[in-house]
């Protein structure tokens, strides 16, 4: 298996991307699925879980961009892809079980927010990366 792959013309380092994506996905699974299901939706603790999920996505993008030799923004953006795929899979399971409360518009909004947060982490990681290459190369 090659170490790099192309994503819209940018070379993505597989190990850098996987380390950030694994961190983001583990935060989403642990906080979102396990702890998030135990917290009431209308309580103040749900805001804490949401903030922790946001910070986890930012840190995942940061880790990927920090370890990447180039294309920091693309590395950060791609770290949200496993979490987004998990969100769509969970909603498809809910639809298959007959739960009609699935709001596809809110799911799309949450996915775009997750990608934006991971991209912010990629920008920050590229800014403070030890090797200062261009953010767009």
Q: 67-107 pLDDT, tens per residue? A: 887 788 888 889 999 989 988 888 888 888 887 777 888 88
What distance in Å separates the CA atoms of residue 29 and residue 86, rounded to the nearest whole number? 9
Close Cβ partners of 103 (under 8 Å, ≥ 6 residues apart): none
The packing angle between helices 14-27 and 81-96, to 10°, is: 50
Q: Which of 36-50, 74-88, 117-131 has the lowest mean pLDDT?
A: 36-50
pLDDT at residue 137, as a whole number: 53
**pTM above the 0.85 mark?**
no
Contact 88, 104 (CB under 8 A): no
Q: 53-66 pLDDT, tens per residue? A: 899 999 999 999 88
Burial 99-127 (b: 16+ CB within 10 A, else e): eeeeeeeeeeebbeebbbbbbbbbbbbbe
pLDDT at residue 22, as a whole number: 92
CA dist 72 to 12, 67, 92, 94, Å? 9, 9, 32, 35
């Amino acid at each position: 298996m090659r170490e790099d792959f192309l994503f819209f013309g940018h070379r993505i380092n597989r190990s850098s991307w996987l380390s950030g994506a694994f961190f983001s996905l583990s935060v989403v699974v642990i906080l979102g699925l396990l702890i998030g299901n135990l917290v009431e939706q209308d309580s103040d603790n749900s805001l804490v879980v949401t903030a922790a999920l946001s910070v986890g996505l930012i840190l995942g993008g940061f880790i990927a961009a920090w370890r990447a030799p180039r294309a920091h923004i693309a590395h950060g953006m791609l770290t949200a892809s496993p979490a987004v795929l998990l969100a769509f899979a969970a909603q498809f399971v809910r639809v298959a079980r007959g739960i009609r409360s699935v709001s596809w518009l809110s799911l799309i909004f949450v996915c775009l927010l997750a990608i934006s947060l991971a991209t912010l982490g990629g920008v920050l990681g590229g800014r403070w990366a030890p090797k200062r290459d261009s953010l767009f190369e």
